[in-house]
């Protein structure tokens, strides 16, 4: 797993959001961006994470950030997840794992004695020039917004 690090330029990407709209890194040129990766929609940890970000969205926006959530779920599953929890930010349906691979968050995992390949829960803070300014490796799902704001303030 070759994960992007602080100081790395984010490679351009284009993938559909939950509504089938193509979203690319270029759409956020000149803006500060938070890209967070989560294993699967509607699972307990992922739900806690997106709801915490939703509940603190105004504070993140006030700090000048746009948000993008990414998993390998389908557009339909991402759409249901977004609607169910009334999320104010897009969720990318990276079924082909293009963005997941470019950020280097796909790799070997262990859970309850089982080993498998999957998405590592990580968050990348990207500056206006498309450079990674912070990486959060150990995401606190229930307090993620505070974790991000502590990194960027």
The residues assigned a catalytic role are 46
Which residues lie closer than 8 Å to 10 by C-beta, 6 or more apart? 4, 25, 35, 102, 103, 124, 126, 130, 131, 132
Taking each helix axis from N to C end, the angle separating 144-152 and 44-55, rounded to the nearest 10 degrees, works out to 50
What DSSP letter does each residue of 69-134 carry, written as one string?
Answer: EEES--HHHHHHHHHHTT-SS-EEE-TT-HHHHHHT-EEEEEETTEEEEEE--EEEEE-TTSBEEE
User: What number of CA atoms fall less than 13 Å from residue 114's CA on the CB side?
Assistant: 5
């Amino acid at each position: 797993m070759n994960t992007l690090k602080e100081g790395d330029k984010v490679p351009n990407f284009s993938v559909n959001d939950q509504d089938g709209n193509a979203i690319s890194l270029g759409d956020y040129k000149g803006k500060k961006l938070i890209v967070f990766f989560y294993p699967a929609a509607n699972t307990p940890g992922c739900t806690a994470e997106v709801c915490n970000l939703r509940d603190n969205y105004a504070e993140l926006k006030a700090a000048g950030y746009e948000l993008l959530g990414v998993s390998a779920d389908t557009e339909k599953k991402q759409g249901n997840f977004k609607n169910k929890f009334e999320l104010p930010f897009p969720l990318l349906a990276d079924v082909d794992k293009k963005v997941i691979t470019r950020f280097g968050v796909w790799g070997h995992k262990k859970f309850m004695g089982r080993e498998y390949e999957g998405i590592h829960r990580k968050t990348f803070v990207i500056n206006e020039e498309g450079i990674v300014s912070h990486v959060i490796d150990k995401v606190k799902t229930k307090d993620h917004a505070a974790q991000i704001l502590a990194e960027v303030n």
